[in-house]
Structures are given as structure tokens and as C-alpha cells.
Structure 1
Amino acid sequence: MLRLRPYRKSDAEYIVTWIKDEVTFRKWSADRFDSYPITAEDVNKLYDNYALLYDFIPMTAFDDDKPSGHLFMRFTDSDKKELRFGFVIVDNAKRGMGYGKELLTLSLQYAFELLMAQKVTLGVFENNRPAYCCYRSVGFEDTGERENYHILQEDWKCLELEISR
């Protein structure tokens, strides 16, 4: 059973080990980092910057006191009604075992019940079918909006998903 807690800087040491190749890395982070691979320090530096720019809430899911999943949340409006999830990831050794669905379920509960968000959005690349299916399984709907990215000398489409209270 997963539990959710605020992110600790030491969690970055785990997160960077879950990313085994650059394609996975880019599906997770898009173009938010300049280079691959990244270090825990790189993650924490980006998060420190995000904390200055956004109403930024990084969270870690854990079982047996060890991080097993992670995402961040940030409000996208001044009224704090719309929240965006980003950098959603599960320990690669635990993928396909329901951890992603549990991470999202806990995070949505936190977003709607504690933060009082009315809507949660996220983006997922169309070439990341397992993540797309996981998001849909917890109730996210495809808005039909698309954003284009040029990643690894390819054009990737990012699909916009949302779920409302």
C-alpha cells in the first residue's frame, strides 16, 4: 500500500535511478532539463527554481519507507482552482503492478480534498501509451488539445488530459 508525503531532497537519489534511458527521460521531463543523464542535484536545483516561480508542491509516494513514485503539483491559476501534475514517475521495477494508478489516485484525492482543486490537468506524449492508459484508468479525459515538441530529432505530440471534481 502506497502512502503520499511531501518530497524530500533525498528522494531525488531514487528518482534518477528509475530513468534508464534517454527516451524514458524525455517522456518524463520533455525539455525541462538541458541534458541527459541528470543527477539528484539537477532535480533539486530545478525544483528550487520552480518553488520560486510557482505554487509548487512536489510529492513522493512510498511503501516500506522507500520512495516508489513521485510527481509534482502546481496551481496554474491565482484562484487555486486548477492544478497541474508533472514529472509523474514510478520506480521502473514496480511498473505494471498498479503503483502508477495508486500514486495518481492518492494524488487526486490530495488535490481535490485537501487542496480543494476543481480540476487537475497533465500532459502525456502520445508515444507513452502505458502512461496514457494509466491516466485514463483513473478518470482523466483527453481534451483534444495537442502541443508539439521536437525531442531527440523527432516531432512528439503532447496530449492534454484533465479530470474535474
Structure 2
Amino acid sequence: MLQLIPFQEKDFQTLFNWIESPRSLMQWGGPMFNFPLTHQQLMDYKDAEDRRAFQVYDPSLDEIVGHLSIGRIDLDKKQGRIGKVIVSPKYRGKGYGRHMIQLISMYAFQHLKLEKVTLGVFDFNRGAIRCYENAGFTIDHYFKKTSPI
């Protein structure tokens, strides 16, 4: 069974290794980060008051297989947002993403006592969309910019 391990400074190199291009950084972190990913950017990310970031450990492999976080945690409104999801390149396409999403959702509901958990994904990231739907998420809002504002 997968385990969530709090993301620490010693884990930064894992993300540096997995995020090798501006596109992979945008897909993982959106506009929050600039390429190349830096130590300071990850410190700011890790230390945010309203976020819990995790490495995902598979004890059967004795390896870290992914990373994700739940951010925008608002305990008064009992809601948060899953984000920064990445599966190790070595383990993509093996079902880890769905299990990771289910695991962080259980953490949000059981440990943080949240009542609503959302996530965001770029529309071009079809694999992630399928993964999130397979984990039980449904599309709530879909905005598509069709003309300049």
C-alpha cells in the first residue's frame, strides 16, 4: 500500500530529476514556478502555510513513485485543492496516479477533516484527466477561452 511521506528539503533532487523541461514544469506546477526549477522555489512551495506536500512511497518497491500536494487548505470552509501531481517517469502508466489521488483524498477527508476537495488540470493533459476521473473525480467546471478579453 502506498504511503504519504512529508516532502522535505532532502527530497528536492527527486523533483529536479523528474522535471527536465519547461513543458514538464508547466504541466506539473502551472505558472507558480519558473524553469529551471530552483531550490528556493521548492522551499517556498514546501513551506506554504496552506499546503501539505508529499512524496509517495511504495514499500513493496522501496522507492518513491510520485509526488503531490493538497493546497489552498481552508479549514474554516473545510476545503482544499489537490495539485502538483507527478508520477516518477519510471512508473508512469502503471496505475500509480489513481492510487495517489485516492490516497491524498483520504488524507484530506480523514486527517484534515475537509468536506470538499477539488483539483485542476490543463485540458491538454488527457492522461491526467483520465486518471482523475478513474479516481472518482468529475468535471465540475470547464472554462475555455475562445476570444481575447
Give the TM-score category using the shorter length: 0.7 to 0.9
What is the 5 A alignment of 1:4-15?
Answer: 4-15=4-15
Cα displacement (A) at 1:85: 1.0
Cα displacement (A) at 1:80: 4.5
Q: Closer, same or farther in 2 for the Cα pair 1:28/1:147, shift >3 Å?
A: farther
Amino acid at match of 1:3: Q
Moved more, 11-20 or 95-104: 11-20
Partner of 2:70: 73
Of residues 44, 56, 65, the one that matches 1:61 is: 56
> Per the alignment, in what secondary structure is the counterpart of residue 28 of structure 2?
helix
Instruction: Tell me, yes or no, if structure 1 residue 140 matches structure 2 residue 137.
Output: yes
Moved more, 112-121 or 64-73: 64-73
Amino acid at match of 2:55: T
Q: Is the 8 A contact 1:74 1:85 kept in 2?
A: yes
> Per the alignment, in what secondary structure is the counterpart of residue 142 of structure 1?
coil
Q: Is the 8 A contact 1:84 1:122 kept in 2?
A: yes
Partner of 2:37: 38
How far apart in 2 are the matches of 1:32 and 1:123?
Answer: 13
How far apart in 2 are the matches of 1:100 and 1:61?
Answer: 10
Amino acid at match of 1:56: R
Q: TM-score, normalised by structure 1?
A: 0.77
Of residues 95, 99, 111, the one that matches 1:102 is: 99
Partner of 1:154: none
Moved more, 138-147 or 74-83: 74-83
Segments of structure 1 that go 5 or more residues without pairing to the other structure are 149-165
Q: RMSD value over aligned CA atoms? A: 2.1
How far apart in 1 are the matches of 2:53 and 2:19?
Answer: 18
Q: Is the 8 A contact 2:67 2:87 kept in 1?
A: yes
Partner of 1:85: 82
Q: Closer, same or farther in 2 for the Cα pair 1:41/1:65, shift >3 Å?
A: farther
Partner of 1:115: 112
Amino acid at match of 1:112: F
1:91-121 Cα deviation digits (max 9, x unpaired):
1111101111111111111111121111111
Q: Is the 8 A contact 1:6 1:59 kept in 2?
A: yes
Segments of structure 2 that go 5 or more residues without pairing to the other structure are none
Amino acid at match of 1:116: K
Q: Is the 8 A contact 1:72 1:88 kept in 2?
A: yes
Q: Between Structure 1 and Structure 2, which shows a larger proportion of strand residues?
A: 1
